[in-house]
Structure 1
Amino acid sequence: MQTFAAIDIGSNSCRLKIGRVVQHQLKILHEDREVTRLGGSVFETGLVSPESMAATLDALKRFYRATQLHGADKVRAVATAAMREARNARAFLAWVRDETGWDVEIISGLEEGRLIHRGIMNNEPGTAGRCLLIDVGGGSCEISLSEHKRIKETVSVPLGAVRLTEEFLHSDPPSKEDIARLKQFIARELGRAERRVKPVKVQIVIATSGTAAALSEASHLVEKQCSDKKENITPTQNVRKLTNKLTKMKNEERMNVQGVGPRRSEIIVAGSHVFAELLEGYALPGFRYSPMGLRDGILAQMLAEQDPRASAHQQFERDRWESVLETCHRYGIDPRQAEPVRQHAAQLFRDLDPVHKLPSEYLTWLETAAMLRDIGKFMNYQGYHRHAQYIIANSEIFGFTPTQRVITSAIARYLGKSRPEPTGRTMRQVPPEDHEHVRRAVVLLRLAVALNQDRASDVLRVKVRVYPKQVLLEIMPGRTGAELELWSLRKESAYFHEVFRRDLFVTLV
């Protein structure tokens, strides 16, 4: 049974969750959390302070010991808003790598929202309808609209509780002027968010993170009878009354409020104002708190990637492929024209498996590169392979980590005269252990492209025969023949031999 660990290095706290796969589902073995306030100095100076670094690293070392104790087979650590903005993020993450061996991913706000959505949808009941998800973290706020457990839209805005506290609240209790500026900033950012996420006919609002937990637990302070105990809903009017009450308190008073505590008390005013303004501005009745979040989404994705029989696998694959198709549309690619190349690339991947010996996940990277190979023409036809590499590596493609996007972009890059060289600009971004894999995948995609020379509908059929020292491609001509494809494939024979050390022969049958 495999064991996975998910680590969320947030702007306010670090969190760990470890789960073991039991009958294609995750059984949680261990959880841990430490408030490190990593974003406190970042949002003020643009740098992670030495004190925050040390506190975060101490927590991560404890997490590391827990992963060793529970025998985690795979660990995925992600960092969010603070690391997205810190100028010394790379130095800090290099320090983390030296101490733990983990390569921490800095994920975008949109990827953060997608993973939170996946964590909630996999674990929370009553989410089959139209749902609005709200996560107010330390550095950012992710707002997502979900329908039938599929994400429709997500947006990330700079409304984290730590960030807002550092930028706007300079006295204790905060002054009326500070609160007025805070509310004005929140309203502006929520107005921008509403242009993308329109909460029309929302059936349920689910909120995650520490601020939501505190507000949900502390709502007993204001009109208990307003709370819907059956659905565990915290009404908007309670949130507003509680927000006003907390705003007038000093920190010493806030830290004694049940559900708030000594560390949350420092940032609860800013976080509660975000919730109050959002719920009122969007005319929402209230929210239901969920303890699920980013870590659960990471674990769900790890399970989906590793276990094809898990219930999350098919949904994850659908979401990821829909994101690829959405990227096609965004950059003017007709998926119907790219589809034959994808089909041939997938066939060659399967039929030439004894030759290329690529890891199974490379089928996804290859198919994605086949669909997006012409994306660079959106910028400029000249040098479009270079433009394609840049767009793929830097675009938001849900379900792809930054490393996976880099690998996919490298496969799409080398379809012209250039070849993948270890010292080249593109290949320097690819992990060294994947260099040979990329070279082999590039050859497969070049063959798939050669099989489709401006064919609108007359797709060729190909049969692959593998011999100890050679590979034979038997092409069945379409209505318009296959001379151009035959010529294009034979041009690839020299590079095929260079990479695979086998002769490539192409014949018409």
Structure 2
Amino acid sequence: MLDIGSAAARLDIVDLASPRMPRATWSVKSRTRLAEHTLADGRVTEEGIADAERAVRHCVRASADKPVEALIAYGTSAVRDASNGARMRKRLGEAAGVRIGVLTPRDEAAVAYHAARRWHGRGGRPMTTVDIGGGTIDVATGTGTDPGRVVSLPHGAARLTRQFLADDPPTPAQLAELRRELHETIPPALRRVESGHPLALSKVLRQLAVLTESTPDAVVRRPHRLRLKGLAEWIPRLAELDHRKRAKLPGVSRSRGKRILAGAIAAEVIMESLGLAELEICPWGLRQGLVYRFLEARTRTRADALDLVGTLFD
């Protein structure tokens, strides 16, 4: 399974014969830098497309000697929402040797919710997933294996950073404008959401949890919670730093040094809107959800599984 995202391309080889959750038996990753090369109008530069092509080729070539049943390749919002996305998908597909699919924001949120439900268990009980990606914010709620309601907003951390936080570090006026936008859009969108057990799915939220749970004496590598109180305490500190200094903080990766501030502010507004004091960190998300979808179809026939790939992706 090849995941092409705003920061990296990652190829996982998954053992579908595993009696438990199918896990990656081999993995390779290469930087795409799509977020860095996406312009304000949503277009990815030629340099950005070339970098993504190299990343895809690296992953595919590295796996050339590995026996696989099928290669499923998909792009997240950085590919889906680019104004020149169709051209980019064509070139990335040529580099991968397969068609690059994309999910709609709603389908992406539903598949990630499905994975979170599998991880958390306790079917029949209300559950809420919060995912802050590069291009969208997705909140899904439900009581079954699939969500009953999905709210998707074009307020991902990378997109918000491009639109509102042009300076590094941002000015007070830019921060105020960002907060105004989020407070005008997120609370009304979530007004009818009846939150259940809250789970955080995205890397931005996991990195914020590491940051806010760590102390001067110890770094919490695998935090279980992202707490609103810790988030509120860290946001002013993040706002004072440029992206290079943020990337040196506990848990913050270099690729997310720029967007972590916008992600933190968005997370704060979401949690306040839903009345949540904390989010439980869920290690599963879209990738695991797609594996489950493929595996469920494969239990019928291999053709069903491959048909699923064609129907699930645009």
TM-score tier after normalising by the smaller chain length: 0.7 to 0.9
Cα 1:209–1:23, aligned 2, differ >3 Å: closer, same or farther? closer
Match for 1:188: what amino acid? E
What's 2:180 paired with? Answer: 184
Q: Is the 8 A contact 1:140 1:159 kept in 2?
A: yes
Percent sequence identity over aligned pairs: 22
Equivalent residue in structure 1 for 2:117, among 114, 118, 121: 121
Listed as ranges, the gaps of 5+ residues in structure 1 are 1-5, 310-358, 366-398, 404-509
Task: Please give the alpha-carbon distance, in whole angstroms, between the structure 1 residues aligned to 2:127 and 2:166.
Answer: 36
What's 2:75 paired with? Answer: 79
Task: Please give the alpha-carbon distance, in whole angstroms, between the structure 1 residues aligned to 2:18 and 2:243.
Answer: 47
TM normalised by structure 1 equals 0.55
Listed as ranges, the gaps of 5+ residues in structure 2 are none
Question: Do residues 290 (structure 1) and 201 (structure 2) align?
Answer: no
Shift of 1:150: 3.2
- Which is helix-richer, 1 or 2? 1
Task: Please give the alpha-carbon distance, in whole angstroms, between the structure 2 residues aligned to 1:36 and 1:270.
Answer: 21
Q: Is the 8 A contact 1:168 1:178 kept in 2?
A: yes
Q: Is the 8 A contact 1:47 1:88 kept in 2?
A: yes
Equivalent residue in structure 1 for 2:14, among 13, 16, 19: 19
What's 2:256 paired with? Answer: 264
TM normalised by structure 2 equals 0.87
Name the SS for the 1:45 alignment partner: coil
Equivalent residue in structure 2 for 1:302, among 291, 294, 299: 294
Shift of 1:250: 2.7
Shift of 1:252: 3.3
Q: Is the 8 A contact 1:222 1:242 kept in 2?
A: no
What is the CA RMSD across the aligned residues, in angstroms? 2.9
Cα 1:68–1:299, aligned 2, differ >3 Å: closer, same or farther? farther
Deviation larger for 215-224 or 299-308: 215-224
What's 1:207 paired with? Answer: 200
Shift of 1:180: 0.7
**What is the aligned length?**
308
Task: Please give the alpha-carbon distance, in whole angstroms, between the structure 1 residues aligned to 2:226 and 2:162.
Answer: 27
Task: Please give the alpha-carbon distance, in whole angstroms, between the structure 1 residues aligned to 2:65 and 2:115.
Answer: 24
Shift of 1:156: 1.4
Question: Do residues 250 (structure 1) and 242 (structure 2) align?
Answer: yes
* Structure with more contact order per residue of length (Cα contacts < 8 Å, sep ≥ 6): 2
Name the SS for the 1:151 alignment partner: coil
Task: Please give the alpha-carbon distance, in whole angstroms, between the structure 2 residues aligned to 1:124 and 1:221.
Answer: 24
Task: Please give the alpha-carbon distance, in whole angstroms, between the structure 1 residues aligned to 2:91 and 2:155.
Answer: 28
Q: Is the 8 A contact 1:217 1:258 kept in 2?
A: yes
Q: Is the 8 A contact 1:40 1:166 kept in 2?
A: no
Q: Is the 8 A contact 1:129 1:149 kept in 2?
A: no
What's 2:209 paired with? Answer: 216
Task: Please give the alpha-carbon distance, in whole angstroms, between the structure 1 residues aligned to 2:293 and 2:273.
Answer: 33
CA deviation map 1:135-180 (0-9, x unaligned):
1111111111131433111121111111111111122221111111
Question: Do residues 193 (structure 1) and 189 (structure 2) align?
Answer: yes
CA deviation map 1:319-360 (0-9, x unaligned):
xxxxxxxxxxxxxxxxxxxxxxxxxxxxxxxxxxxxxxxx97
Name the SS for the 1:53 alignment partner: helix
The list of structure 1 runs, each at least 4 consecutive aligned residues, that deviate by more than 6 angstroms after superposition, is none
Q: Is the 8 A contact 1:77 1:103 kept in 2?
A: yes
1:417-436 map, 5 Å: none
Shift of 1:110: 0.5
Q: Is the 8 A contact 2:7 2:255 kept in 1?
A: no
